[in-house]
Amino acid sequence: MGENDFQHTGILMIHPASVAFDIDGVFADTMTLFLDIARDEYNITGIEYKDFTSYSLEECLSIDRGIIERIIVKIMDGNYTAPLKPIEGAPKVLSRIGRNHRPILFVTARPYLGPIYDWIKDTLPLDSRDIEVVATGGFEAKADVLLKKNISYFVEDRLETCFHLERAGVTPLLFKQPWNRVHHPFMEVGTWNELEALIQF
């Protein structure tokens, strides 16, 4: 626990300056966008959000691997017509955090930012100077970025990343998703309201 954090009535309280966020599956509802692209551009139906039971999509979806890869490239490049929406409650809580500490840090394993930075700026009612986004190209590089920026906590949806962060000295907060519903040792939150309750405002 960082020096700016404290226990209050048995509940962990996190200082806004000590927490950073993943994007896909935490802030951006990327899997719903995946479903929309699959339906609209490839006429693939019958798949639901709850079917994303693995981070490796080819393991849990009966979709051709090539189509999965093409949809992912479309998402990375912003080459789609369906809207990318935020996960419910995220803009409100992130804006509140941004009023208490700036810049808000997002660290993504995307290989390049592409249009996601503009999407974040458009989605959050904050000045662009108050938003920092780092694309690492792989989950293994997230910890180095977080440690260099004195981040103690990271909100993440990928379980393998959480284990890597913990080994590096960053405390992960697992954001519940269908693809991380196995036994794990980490604190988890199911909604942005639950996360908000852990922030020391």
Please state, in angstroms and as integers, the Cα–Cα distance from residue 110 to each residue in 43, 77, 193, following that order.
26, 11, 26
pLDDT class of 71 with cuts at 50, 70, 90: very high
Residue 184 DSSP label: -
Every domain of the chain and the residues it spans:
6-29+85-196, 30-77
What CATH number does the domain located at 6-29+85-196 have?
A: 3.40.50.1000
pLDDT digits (tens, 9 = 90+) for 101-154: 999 999 999 999 999 999 999 999 999 999 999 999 999 999 999 999 999 999
Q: Tell whether the model's pLDDT for residue 19 goes beyond 60.
A: yes
pLDDT class of 7 with cuts at 50, 70, 90: very low
pLDDT value at residue 12: 79
Q: Tell whether the model's pLDDT for residue 9 goes beyond 50.
A: no
Tokens linked to 1? 């626990």
Collapsing DSSP states into helix, strand and coil, what is residue 188?
strand
pLDDT value at residue 74: 97
pTM (two decimals):
0.93
Average pLDDT over residues 69-81: 96
Q: Mean pLDDT lowest for which of 1-10, 64-73, 93-102, 144-153? A: 1-10
pLDDT value at residue 11: 63
Measure the CA–CA gap between 110 and 62, rounded to whole angstroms. Answer: 24
Average pLDDT over residues 40-54: 97
Measure the CA–CA gap between 186 and 9, rounded to whole angstroms. Answer: 20
More confident residue, 131 or 3: 131
